Structure 1
Amino acid sequence: MAYIGLINLALIVVNIVMSYKGLKDHSFFDRYSFQVDNILVYKDYKRLVTSGFLHVSWIHLLFNMFALYAFSTSLELRMGPSSFLTLYFASLVGGNLLSLLIHRNHGDYSAVGASGAVCGIIFASIALFPGMRIGFFGLPFSIPAWIYGLLYVLYSIYGIRSKKDNIGHEAHLGGALIGMLVAVCIVPEAIRENYPTILSILFPGALAVYLIITRPQLLLVDNQYFKTHIGDYDIDDRYNLGRMDRQQEIDFLLEKIHKKGIKSLTKKERDTLEKYSQSV
């Protein structure tokens, strides 16, 4: 049993290393972050995973890693290392896929962070441990996990619709729901032990996702985010525009190499040329 917790610790280490590199190197951050156009137009699907190991600040990283550590030990023990790892990545990708669905016509939308995966871990814990209670920093009381889960889902739905902050509510909601679903698939007896909690969270969450898919106009609210947000055009338009811009940039770089040699390229220009060559 000595291996219990190693997967959790390994994930924390990878998050710290990747985030450190991203905070120090903007080109590295840009290469692996979640960016709608790079995923949909240029088919750079690795970003659905790599973006979950980057963070915008040390505080952002600290909060996510603390939550991951706090909720993971018992969960990894209950599920086993391989199932726990499956849960983590399924929540991460599931959260990003919901973000991609909602923002598919917002070509400039970008995001990073392990929050989707961490939400999956938290909600899997809520599903598997019926008596679980959740406390908050500085407060002398805790609340039943099912109340926290339901309030969090409702808050995420509100956040997706209102867009009054810079939080990736879509990834949080998607990660939470996928995490709970994966957990009950791996440990099916949890449904019998804790079905009121599971249903009270999954039902409104699944309903919200259904409405997002079938009634996307419900997300169109008149606020500053939608007034200023650019890139609201379909993928074919973005592909054609992106292809034109890319070809012009490649032509410029090749002309510069022809006239002054490859050493005349800046680091950013070399990275750009390498990126385009890999996407061909």
Structure 2
Amino acid sequence: MLNLHIATIVIMAANVLVSLRGFNNTTFFDRYKFSIGGIQAGQKDRMATSGFLHVDFSHLFLNMFTLYFFAPVVIGWFGSVKFLIIYFVSLLGGSLLALFFHKNEPFYSAVGASGAVMGVLYAAILLNPDMQLGIMFIPIPLPAYVLGIAYLLYSIYGMKSRAGNIGHTAHFGGAVGGYLTTLLFKPELFVTDTLIVILLAIPIIILFALEKMGKL
């Protein structure tokens, strides 16, 4: 059982309370979800509020379960204030990338803390790349950086193919937010973990290269 910091508890509580309100009030849900049309009409608050709404309990649980494991890593390195900065920068990074890639789709909408959580996860991987992570269907744990790179490459595939009802763009944008903010807070990683910094940047470079070539 991990010893949760008050900052993590506050973030989790906010997600649970806002999501419960959304589950029971469709007007509230529709007003505060990420919506290209709504944002372009001036409701910029959706960029942040959508990160606290979820479609159902399983969606909420998965995000909070992931946060439960990786928030302590980031807080252990940086403390609660920088953790919160990483969380919210990642949340907004996910929304900004979704807005950029879907700006011509007025009916595009999304909800969930996945972008913020991906940012925390990517920050944790940068700070502790030798972590071993296990996932279903793979019998042995793998280095965290391998799974991080693989997931972002899958996100690029998902963005290109529109695979599943998943906000791949927000996931990717959140990871970029966590990656950049962690390097801002701990620039010595460029020297101490140069290879990991480069490897984790590869999917980001690929994404923007594909966008520049009009392949997305």
| Fold in common (TM above 0.5) | yes
Poorly superposed stretches of 4+, deviation over 3 Å: 137-140
Amino acid of the structure 2 residue aligned with 1:218: K
Q: CA deviation at 1:192?
A: 2.2
Q: For the residues of structure 1 that align with 2:148 and 2:34, how far apart are their CA atoms?
A: 26
Aligned to 1:9: 9
Q: For the residues of structure 2 that align with 1:85 and 1:210, how far apart are their CA atoms?
A: 30
Q: Does 1:196 align with 2:198?
A: no
Q: Which runs of 5+ in 2 are unaligned?
A: none
Amino acid of the structure 1 residue aligned with 2:160: R
Question: 3-state DSSP class of the match of 1:131?
Answer: coil
Matched-pair contact (CA < 8 Å) for 1:4–1:81? no
Aligned to 1:33: 33
Q: CA deviation at 1:204?
A: 2.7
Aligned to 1:59: 58
Aligned to 1:273: none
Matched-pair contact (CA < 8 Å) for 1:117–1:175? yes
Matched-pair contact (CA < 8 Å) for 1:153–1:201? no
Aligned to 2:109: 110
Q: CA deviation at 1:82?
A: 0.9
Q: CA deviation at 1:139?
A: 5.3
Aligned to 2:20: 20
Question: 3-state DSSP class of the match of 1:218?
Answer: coil
Aligned to 2:122: 123
Q: How many residues align?
A: 214
Q: CA deviation at 1:210?
A: 4.2
Question: 3-state DSSP class of the match of 2:142?
Answer: strand
Q: Does 1:71 align with 2:52?
A: no
Sequence identity of aligned pairs in percent? Answer: 40
Amino acid of the structure 2 residue aligned with 1:207: I
Amino acid of the structure 1 residue aligned with 2:204: G
Alignment of 1:109-258 (within 5 A): 109-137=108-136, 140-212=139-211, 214-215=212-213, 217-219=214-216
Q: Which runs of 5+ in 1 are unaligned?
A: 220-280
Normalised by the length of structure 2, the TM-score is 0.94
Q: For the residues of structure 2 that align with 1:4 and 1:166, how far apart are their CA atoms?
A: 31
Q: 1:167 to 1:4 in 2, by over 3 A?
A: closer
Q: For the residues of structure 1 that align with 2:43 and 2:121, how far apart are their CA atoms?
A: 29
Q: CA deviation at 1:189?
A: 2.2
Q: CA deviation at 1:181?
A: 1.1
CA deviation digits over 1:42-89, x for unaligned, max 9?
Answer: 111110000000000000000000000110112112111111110000
Higher deviation after alignment, 31-40 or 198-207? 198-207
Q: CA deviation at 1:209?
A: 2.5
Q: For the residues of structure 2 that align with 1:145 and 1:4, how far apart are their CA atoms?
A: 21
Amino acid of the structure 1 residue aligned with 2:168: H
Alignment of 1:85-104 (within 5 A): 85-104=84-103
Matched-pair contact (CA < 8 Å) for 1:16–1:61? yes
Matched-pair contact (CA < 8 Å) for 2:129–2:143? no
Amino acid of the structure 2 residue aligned with 1:204: P
CA deviation digits over 1:245-267, x for unaligned, max 9?
Answer: xxxxxxxxxxxxxxxxxxxxxxx
Q: CA deviation at 1:140?
A: 4.3
Q: For the residues of structure 2 that align with 1:69 and 1:193, how far apart are their CA atoms?
A: 27
Q: For the residues of structure 1 that align with 2:76 and 2:163, how far apart are their CA atoms?
A: 38
